[in-house]
Amino acid sequence: MYPFLLTALAPILWGSTYAAVGLYLTDLSPLWVAVFRALGAGVFLMLLLRRLPRMAMSKVVILGFFNIGVFFILLMVAAYRLPGSVAGTLGATLPLLLIVIQWLAQGKRPAVKATLSAVVGLFGVLLLLNPSANLDPIGVACALGATFVIAIATLLTQHWQVKDILGVATWQLLTAGTLLIPVAWLWEGAPTMVTLEQLPGLFWLIILNTALGYIIAVNGIKQIGPNAFGMLSLLNPMMAVALGMFLMSETLGFWQWFGVILIIGSLIASNVRWRGTVPANVTLERQCDKAA
C-alpha cells in the first residue's frame, strides 16, 4: 500500500502546476517561468545524478526541444491564460491523442475500447470548449499544442527505446532550459527580480512539482508497474480541477463540468484492464514524459 501512496504524489504534484502559477507567479513572464522551472529542476537533479545520460546527446537535445522547451513555453502560457481546471483537463487528453496519432501516422488501429474512449474524450473536449465558455483562444491553442508536442516526444522516446528515463530527463531539462534563455530574453527582455512573495511558487514548481515529481514517478513505476501508474496519473487532472475550485474560486458551466467528467471517465475506461483484454496503452516512457 505504501508504494502506491508514495507514487500517487507524482501526478498530484503535477496537477498543482496551474494553482502554483495562479497563486504566486502571475506577475512573472511565462517564458521566464519556463526557464526557471527547466534549469532549476535540471540543476537540482544533476546534483543528485552526477553523470551523463546513457543516450546520444543529439537525441537528448531533440527530445528536450519538444518535451521541455516547446512544451514548457506552451504549458506556462496556457497556465496564465486559462482556468487551471480547463488547462489541466486538456493536458490529460495525451493518451487519447496518442491513440489517434498512432492510428493516422503509424497505421496502428486501436482496440474497440480505446477507440470508444477516444471518441468519448473528444466529445468531452468539445463540451469543455463550447463557445459559451468564453475561453481565451490563445490559451486553448497553447494547452492543446502542449499536449501535441508531448505526444511527439513520447513517440520518439518509444522509437528510440529510452531506458535511462531519469538521466535523459535531467539533461533534457538542462539543455532545453539553456536554449530557452535567449528566447525569453529576446521576447520578454531581461527577467524581473523575483520577490519574496513569489519564491514559494517557484520553489514548489521547480523542486517539488518538477524535480521531485520525476524522481517519485521513476521510482514508483519500478515498484508498482506502468499500468498501475497509468491509473494513478488520473489524479493529475483531478487535482488541477480540485485546486482550481477550492483555491482559485474557478467556476465552470454545467456543460463544461460534464465535459470534464467525460474526459476523466474516458481516461479511466482506457486504463482499466478487463479480463481477457490487452493492458492499457500506457508505457513507462509516456507517463514519465507528462509534465504539467
What's the CA gap between 149 and 11, in Å, rounded?
19
Identify which of 89, 128, 121, 51 has the alpha carbon closest to the alpha carbon of residue 267.
121
pLDDT of residue 32: 96
pLDDT in tens, 247-260: 888 888 888 889 88
Cβ distance 70 to 239 under 8 Å?
A: no
Task: Return phi, psi of residue 163, to 5°.
Answer: -105, -35
Stated length of the chain: 292
pLDDT of residue 273: 60
The number of beta carbons lying within 10 Å of the beta carbon of residue 101 is: 16
Please report, for residues 55, 79, 172, 224, the alpha-carbon distance to residue 33 in angstroms, rounded to integers and kept in the order given: 28, 11, 17, 33
pLDDT of residue 203: 96
pLDDT of residue 150: 86
Please report, for residues 98, 201, 205, 234, 279, the alpha-carbon distance to residue 41 in angstroms, rounded to integers and kept in the order given: 27, 14, 9, 23, 32
The number of beta carbons lying within 10 Å of the beta carbon of residue 235 is: 19
What's the CA gap between 272 and 73, in Å, rounded?
32
What's the CA gap between 102 and 79, in Å, rounded?
28
Q: Which three cell numbers stand for residue 180?
A: 530557452
Q: How far is CA 51 from the centre of its chain?
A: 25
pLDDT of residue 284: 39
Q: How much is the pTM?
A: 0.83
pLDDT of residue 280: 41
- Which parts of the chain sit beneath pLDDT 70? 1, 226-227, 230-231, 271-292
Sequence-ordered strand ranges (E) for the chain:
none
What's the CA gap between 150 and 160, in Å, rounded?
15
